[in-house]
């Protein structure tokens, strides 16, 4: 009897502490910071012109992939925040899930709600083209965000970043600093190499470096993740005892890249990043790492897309343009952020 008593007491104690521990652990999933009020999203304050003046009420539909990294999360956050700035805008976001097969029905249900305009960042431009076309055919203008449809009839406005331009910007920065040097070692750390955008970035980088008579040396791809950035860079540094410059395509994986550089105690080179995350900007400002500059591919494009979608729906013009309608194609310039202008860009930085 006493044995089983002790057993059950032990069991009770175990269960009790398990429940208590579980409650404690569950409380540990919170990421609320004290005094953390901002959502970290950016909006556009365009003070010039009369475009901010309220117009007729419009309903803007929005669809973007579920966030799998900071950049996409920032896209949705920016769009939501920007739409919230206009009292006459009703913002109707639909979850686009994890791939095209989930985004297609989501957007189709959006079409049936008959919004005045749809802003869409497709999972895959080519595969979502027919859905974009369907909306256009139903008389709903589509603002195609970043990933381009294969048919121009499927969008009213295409607004996208410039991957090739990113490579060019990084190439110019490195080229200007290293020009005249004999055989400098320029390393490149791309993200997922199978993606067209990675190929475009690398081509821009090569082309720009060629203008200075320079070539890319070691080039090892990571996978856009922090851990892969760390592993690839640690090995890359080991294999190249002297490096002059590094271009890392992506500030998300850059966290790991910088960590590997610190672990190896290497700082004979300078580094250029990509995308323009808040973290990267803070390092550029502080000058505490080899990261000297980053070339933007900014999720603020979502804010701009909402602004332009609103103008399209209201039939208004862009105040700086003579034409009476919003243009059809906007390619954003990849900007180079350095210590000199980082303060200006800091408000646009996204949390990775």
Please give the residue ranges that form the binding site for another protein (CB under 8 A).
21-22, 25, 27-33, 67-70, 72-73, 193, 217-221, 223, 225-232, 234-236, 238-241, 252, 255-256, 259, 262-263, 279, 351-352
The answer to whether the Cα torsion of 135, 140, 146, 150 is positive or negative is positive
Q: How far is the CB of 202 from another protein (least distance, A)?
A: 12
Judged by CB, which is closer to another protein: 36, or 320?
Answer: 36
Q: How far is the CB of 189 from another protein (least distance, A)?
A: 11
Judged by CB, which is closer to another protein: 102, or 231?
Answer: 231
Q: Six-digit token pair at 352?
A: 């990775």
Judged by CB, which is closer to another protein: 55, or 217?
Answer: 217
CA distance 171 to 165: 10
Q: How far is the CB of 15 from another protein (least distance, A)?
A: 13
In angstroms, how far is CA 74 from the centroid of its own chain? 6
Q: Which residues lie below 8 Å from residue 239, measured CB to CB, with a gap of 6+?
A: 218
CB 295 within 8 A of CB 272: yes
Please classify residue 192 by burial: count the beta carbons closer than 10 Å to its beta carbon, then call 0-12 exposed, 13-18 middle and 19+ buried. middle
Q: How far is the CB of 33 from another protein (least distance, A)?
A: 5
Q: Show the 3-state SS of 188-201.
A: EECCCCCCHHHHHH
Judged by CB, which is closer to another protein: 5, or 194?
Answer: 194
Judged by CB, which is closer to another protein: 96, or 221?
Answer: 221
Q: How far is the CB of 70 from another protein (least distance, A)?
A: 6
Judged by CB, which is closer to another protein: 200, or 231?
Answer: 231
Strand order in the sheet with 270-275: 186-189, 245-248, 270-275, 291-296, 336-337
CB 103 within 8 A of CB 128: yes
Q: How far is the CB of 247 from another protein (least distance, A)?
A: 15
Residue spans of alpha helices (H) in 212-286: 226-239, 251-264, 278-286
Q: Six-digit token pair at 211?
A: 């203008």
How far lies 116's CA from each of 62, 100, 265, 304, in Å? 11, 23, 56, 17
Q: How far is the CB of 25 from another protein (least distance, A)?
A: 6
Lookup result for tokens 């652990």? 25
Judged by CB, which is closer to another protein: 139, or 241?
Answer: 241
Residues forming a β-bridge with 64: 95
Question: Phi and psi at residue 246, in whole multiples of 5°?
Answer: -130, 135
Q: How far is the CB of 22 from another protein (least distance, A)?
A: 8
Lookup result for tokens 């013009």? 317
Judged by CB, which is closer to another protein: 234, or 330?
Answer: 234
């Amino acid at each position: 009897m006493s044995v089983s008593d002790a057993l059950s007491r032990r069991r009770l104690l175990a269960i009790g502490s398990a429940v208590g521990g579980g409650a404690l652990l569950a409380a540990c999933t919170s990421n609320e910071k004290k005094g953390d009020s901002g959502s970290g999203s950016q909006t556009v304050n365009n003070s010039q012109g009369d475009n901010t003046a309220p117009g007729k009420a419009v309903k803007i539909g929005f669809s973007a992939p579920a966030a799998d990294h900071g950049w996409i999360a920032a896209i949705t956050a920016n769009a939501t925040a920007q739409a919230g700035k206009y009292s006459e805008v009703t913002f109707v976001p639909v979850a686009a899930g994890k791939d095209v097969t989930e985004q297609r029905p989501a957007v189709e249900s959006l079409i049936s709600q008959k919004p005045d305009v749809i802003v869409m960042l497709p999972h895959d431009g080519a595969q979502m083209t027919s859905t974009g076309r369907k909306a256009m055919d139903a008389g709903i203008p589509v603002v195609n965000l970043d990933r381009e449809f294969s048919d121009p009839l499927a969008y009213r406005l295409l607004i996208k970043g410039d991957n090739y331009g990113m490579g060019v910007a990084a190439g110019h920065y490195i080229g200007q600093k290293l020009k005249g040097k004999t055989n400098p070692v320029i390393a490149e750390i791309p993200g997922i190499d199978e993606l067209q955008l990675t190929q475009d970035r690398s081509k821009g980088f090569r082309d720009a470096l060629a203008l200075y008579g320079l070539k890319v040396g070691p080039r090892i791809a990571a996978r856009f993740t922090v851990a892969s950035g760390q592993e690839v860079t640690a090995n890359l540094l080991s294999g190249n005892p002297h490096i002059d410059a590094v271009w890392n395509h992506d500030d998300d994986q850059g966290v790991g890249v910088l960590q590997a550089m610190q672990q190896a105690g290497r700082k004979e080179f300078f580094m250029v990043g990509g995308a323009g995350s808040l973290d990267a900007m803070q390092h550029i400002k502080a000058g505490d790492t080899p990261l000297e500059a980053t070339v933007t591919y900014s999720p603020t494009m979502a804010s701009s897309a909402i602004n332009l979608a609103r103008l399209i729906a209201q039939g208004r013009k862009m105040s700086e343009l003579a034409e009476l309608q919003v243009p059809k194609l906007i390619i954003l310039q990849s900007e180079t952020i350095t210590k000199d202008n980082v303060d200006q860009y800091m408000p646009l930085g996204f949390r990775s």
